Amino acid sequence: MIAAFPYVATLVNNILKANNIPALNMVQIDFLISGSGLIIVVGVVLELLRRFTAELQSHDYRRFF
């Protein structure tokens, strides 16, 4: 789903532009990051969350020793 998101969002943007709806012509969606870039970003964020969780848990254990 993450890899396909930029393609789907660009496709929806092109469909909205093709319909020439005045209110939607002001909105422009440009994705500067590809699907693989999104996967990397999500992976980094998940790894940071795991490290923060591990650090918080180890901090709780330090008071017992």
Which amino acid is it at 55? Answer: E
Residue of 27 and 4 predicted with greater confidence: 4
Q: Render pLDDT for 14-58 as a digit per residue (tens, 0 to 9).
A: 787 777 766 555 666 566 667 777 788 889 999 999 999 888 888
pTM check: above 0.75: no
Q: Which of 2-6, 46-50, 60-64 has the lowest mean pLDDT?
A: 60-64
50: alpha, beta or left, given left = phi > 0 and alpha = psi -120 to 50? alpha
Can you read off the two tokens belonging to residue 64?
């017992």
Domain residue ranges in the chain: 5-62
pLDDT at 48: 95
Q: How big is the chain, counted in residues? A: 65
pLDDT at 22: 62
